[in-house]
């Protein structure tokens, strides 16, 4: 079945850039997503990219997609303490959504 993998932890210093990586297996993925989850809260959609794109930028967020390698990354520029959360990568073929285990981002002062 489909699988989505992420590294589980990332620590960065405030003001630095964060890069969270994700790999997926489903070659029929149409959309790829990044969600943010803060403690005790639901998932918040940050951004998504269509599978025929290779980059999308939205303010401090940059998503890079390497479809050949099935690799997705999320770069957060000028990381702030408020960015501390768990970040989930997800892929969809337009019907099902498959989520990764999440990357816990810790931002150190």
Stretch of 41-49, 53-61, 63-71, 72-80 lying at the interface with other proteins (CB under 8 A): 41-49
Q: Is 88 exposed, middle or buried (0-12, 13-18, 19+ CB in 10 A)?
A: buried
Nearer to other proteins, 16 or 99 (CB): 99
Stretch of 12-20, 33-41, 60-68, 70-78 lying at the interface with other proteins (CB under 8 A): 33-41
Smallest separation, CB 25 to other proteins (Å): 15
53 binds other proteins per the rule CB under 8 A: no
Q: Is 4 exposed, middle or buried (0-12, 13-18, 19+ CB in 10 A)?
A: buried
- Cα–Cα distance for residue pair 106/86, rounded to 1 Å: 9
Near other proteins by CB under 8 A: residue from 39, 42, 82, 109: 42
- Cα–Cα distance for residue pair 92/2, rounded to 1 Å: 10
Number of residues that bind other proteins (CB under 8 A): 23
Q: Which of residues 12-31 bind other proteins (CB under 8 A)?
A: 30-31
Residue 82: strand, helix, or coil:
helix
């Amino acid at each position: 079945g489909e699988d989505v993998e992420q590294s589980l932890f990332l620590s960065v210093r405030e003001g630095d850039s964060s890069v969270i990586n994700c790999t997926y297996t489903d070659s029929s993925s149409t959309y790829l997503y990044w969600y943010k989850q803060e403690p005790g809260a639901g998932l918040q959609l940050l951004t998504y990219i269509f599978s025929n794109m290779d980059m999308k930028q939205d303010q401090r967020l940059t998503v890079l997609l390497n479809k050949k390698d099935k690799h997705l990354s999320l770069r957060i520029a000028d990381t702030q303490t408020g960015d501390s959360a768990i970040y989930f990568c997800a892929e969809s073929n337009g019907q099902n959504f498959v989520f990764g285990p999440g990357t816990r981002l810790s931002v150190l002062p």
